[in-house]
Amino acid sequence: MENCIKVGMADLQSSCHPGVLTTLGLGSCVGIALYDSTTKIIGLAHIMLPSSLQARNNNNIAKFADTAIVKLVEDMLKLGAKREKIVAKLAGGSQMFSFNQSTDIMRIGFRNVVSAKEKLSELKIPVVAEDTGGNYGRTIELFSDNGRLLVKTIGYGVKQI
């Protein structure tokens, strides 16, 4: 695969066409995939926590949904993306362990998704597709040619959103 860039945990990357961005084994973390169909510029963030405002240590902006989205959009604009053409797809935010649903550690996936959507809506970036929730891990690949997002799982099949 040409120009396939891996995005780690608490990491974000963007790419011009042709490019593929991938992040492996999303659990409660959320993969935020951004795409501008006119310039075929893509960006992918792998966030771990909902908000930088609630954290004691918020140096790593790629770790939080709110700060990662802002940085990712900036990076894509630098590559030449058109701000008003950017759309988003979300994947991940699952709950890996089923017990004790009332505590924060268990609902973190859900909160990550909610926070990502709030930030995207604030920036007027439409969420065109999502594959979130559940209790299983996901590997995602974002392709620059048409912005498709491939979601792979163990035992829950492969889909494209």
Partner 1 sequence: MSYNIDDLNNLQLDVLREIGNIGAGNAATALAKMLNTKVDMDVPKVKILEFKNVDEILGEAEAPVVGILLNVTGDLTGSIMFILKYKAARVLVNLLMGRPAEFDAEFDELDLSALKEIGNILSGSYLSALSALTNLNIMPSIPDLAIDMAGAILSVPAIEFGKVGDTVLYIETEFSEGNTCVVGDFFLIPDVESYEILLKALGVIS
Backbone angles phi, psi at 76, to 5 degrees: -70, -35
The distance of closest approach from Cβ of residue 70 to partner 1 in the complex, given in angstroms and rounded to an integer, is 18
Asked if 110 contacts 63 with a C-beta cutoff of 8 angstroms, the reply is no
Q: Which residues of 52-88 are buried (b: 16+ CB within 10 A; e: fewer)?
A: beeeeeeeebbbbbbbbbebbbebbbeeebeeeebbb
The distance of closest approach from Cβ of residue 10 to partner 1 in the complex, given in angstroms and rounded to an integer, is 4
Q: Of the candidates 4, 8, 18, 82, which one interacts with partner 1 according to CB under 8 A?
A: 8
Binding of partner 1 by 27 (CB under 8 A): yes
The distance of closest approach from Cβ of residue 48 to partner 1 in the complex, given in angstroms and rounded to an integer, is 5
74's tokens:
């900036």
Q: Is 16 an active-site residue?
A: no
Asked if 9 contacts 116 with a C-beta cutoff of 8 angstroms, the reply is no
Of residues 7, 29, 72, 149, which has the active-site annotation? Answer: 29
Binding of partner 1 by 102 (CB under 8 A): no
The rounded distance, in Å, linking the Cα atoms of 69 and 65 is: 6
Binding of partner 1 by 114 (CB under 8 A): no
Residue placing its CB nearer to partner 1 in the complex, 15 or 94: 94
Q: Which stretch binds partner 1 (CB under 8 A): 27-35, 73-81, 83-91, 140-148?
A: 27-35
Binding of partner 1 by 115 (CB under 8 A): no
Single-letter residue type at 85 = K
The rounded distance, in Å, linking the Cα atoms of 108 and 49 is: 7
The rounded distance, in Å, linking the Cα atoms of 112 and 118 is: 10
Q: Which stretch binds partner 1 (CB under 8 A): 21-29, 71-79, 121-129, 142-150?
A: 21-29
Tell me which DSSP letter residue 17 carries: S
Given the rule CB under 8 A, which residues bind partner 1?
8-11, 24-29, 48-49, 55-57, 59-60, 63, 94, 96-100, 103, 105, 108, 135-139, 152, 154
Catalytic residues: 29
